[in-house]
Structure 1
Amino acid sequence: MRMMLYFEDPYRTEADTSVVRSGTDDRGPYVVLAEPLFYPQGGGQKGDRGRLRLAGGLVLDVVGTRKAEDEIRHYLAAGQEPPAPGPARQELDWPFRYHQMRLHSAAHFLHVALEREIGASLPYPVRAPLSETGGECHYAFAGRFGPDQLERAVKAANAHTAQGHPIVTRTDEERGPGMRSWHCAGDTVACGGLHPRDSSEVGDITASMRIKRGKTLVSFALAHP
């Protein structure tokens, strides 16, 4: 089984590996690596980007990472030729990865804070896409909470994260093969994404909400990106 370095250590920014194969699909040229450090887009979290350094000094730009056909494809900048198999050095765009990790945990802290505010469990968002600046939780209901409750939940979430609670992401085989979950201070959320080690790294969260076509959309960002 191929080792997923992004799960082994989400804070690792560089690693040696080898190009297993390369190709081109409708998204552009790509390479497949033996031990991926780049996280593939999933669960709302955007795929990693960065660089690959190859033998002879060639540097390729990874502009996105996705799963496709049971493999992880590292997409290259337009016009770059997919390389032949051989050794490669992976270098992450760490500021981008770290911001995505913080945003991903922010979505979970908002969710559990909303549950405490309304005194009831909430179905997980049907989607929680992240952008480079923020995210949006799409809840498949309307009327379960309003702007005032969201405001109080945000304040509670910020007070909670500032206390500095360890965050752990681990496999959750009871839910099925390959499933993972997020844990912090007694709270659990099903999630296969990457997260910081401590809640204090997330920082203050800002949020707003709107209702659209029977769904509640909670937009959020970090006060200090």
Structure 2
Amino acid sequence: MKTKLLYQTNSYTYECSAKVVAVSGDEVALDATIFYPGGGGQMADRGTLSWDQSAYQSHIIAISNRNGVVWHTLDYLPPHSGTEVTETIDWNFRYRSMRTHTAFLLLCSVIWREFGVQVSGGQIYPDRARMDFAMEYLEKDRIVELEQRVNAVIEADHPIHTYMLPREKAYALSGLVRAKMNLLPPHLEEIRMVDIVGFDLQTDNGTLVNHTREIGGVQIMRSENKGRLNKRLEIVLKDAL
């Protein structure tokens, strides 16, 4: 049985009940999870599982999605299969990840519109994010302009909606190139779409805010040449400066 991915429909859920459906060593699989297992450059969530009316609690030290089943690695002897547990997210970590990840997508959109190039890699950290773009030149004055454009989109407070679309219908949409859909696992029958209303449409599986203004603002802190056709930008949320 595949795990129901609750974070895909509501990134703001920070606590829920679930049932243990399988146990393997110090790992448990649940029928549903609010924990993002990591991927696409975004770090896995942090938090705890508790059971028996909170008599037992374990920190989640790792999360992985294997063939549609999300396994949660615990730092305490895991509960038996069939146990009802309470999942609790480290909300401060989650919300900062949501804001940074959404800013990541906005920068990808702005650079695609400006230069027509894809993001070739990236990583989101607790306090910043870095993105690599397949481009040869990126002058300093253009970097300032990119930062201004991203912040203008943030300030415009675009709503952000997500929904699932059959894979063949997603592939049929034109201009959906920022996410490199050809790299998506072939077993995925549905693709999660992210509609930044009035601005852009992308594919993404991570956690996101509901309105762009929640990001608060970003600053491009650094730029690096990482090869002849690879430029790296590092961004931070303004309230982290």
Q: CA deviation at 1:69?
A: 4.4
Aligned to 2:111: 114
Q: CA deviation at 1:31?
A: 1.4
Aligned to 2:212: 199
Q: How does 1:100-179 map to 2 (within 5 A)?
A: 100-116=97-113, 118=114, 120-123=115-118, 125-143=119-137, 145-173=138-166, 174-175=169-170, 177-179=189-191
Equivalent pair of 1:114/1:149 in contact (CA under 8 Å): no
Q: Distance in 2 between matches of 1:49 and 1:171?
A: 25
Equivalent pair of 1:169/1:195 in contact (CA under 8 Å): no
Q: Secondary structure at the match of 2:193?
A: strand
Q: Distance in 2 between matches of 1:224 and 1:49?
A: 21
Cα deviations by residue, 1:152-207 (Å, 9 ceiling, x for unpaired): 11112112211211011222322362312222123122211110000000111111
Unaligned stretches of 5+ in structure 1? none
TM-score (norm 2): 0.82
Q: Distance in 2 between matches of 1:64 and 1:150?
A: 36
Q: Distance in 1 between matches of 2:224 and 2:120?
A: 16
Kindly indicate whether residue 181 of structure 2 is the aligned counterpart of residue 187 of structure 1: no
Q: Distance in 2 between matches of 1:182 and 1:91?
A: 25
Q: CA deviation at 1:135?
A: 0.9
2:44 aligns with one of 31, 42, 47: 47
How many percent of aligned residue pairs carry the same amino acid? Answer: 23
Q: Secondary structure at the match of 1:224?
A: helix
Q: Distance in 2 between matches of 1:132 and 1:17?
A: 27
Kindly indicate whether residue 224 of structure 2 is the aligned counterpart of residue 210 of structure 1: yes
Q: 1:178 to 1:19 in 2, by over 3 A?
A: same
Aligned to 1:23: 24
Q: CA deviation at 1:2?
A: 3.8
Q: 1:142 to 1:172 in 2, by over 3 A?
A: farther
Q: Distance in 2 between matches of 1:136 and 1:167?
A: 22
Query: Which consecutive segments of 4 or more residues in structure 1 shift more than 6 A?
Result: none
TM-score (norm 1): 0.88
Equivalent pair of 1:134/1:221 in contact (CA under 8 Å): yes
Aligned to 2:79: 83
2:72 aligns with one of 53, 66, 74: 74
Q: CA deviation at 1:99?
A: 0.8
Count of paired positions: 215
Q: 1:166 to 1:81 in 2, by over 3 A?
A: same
Q: 1:177 to 1:146 in 2, by over 3 A?
A: farther
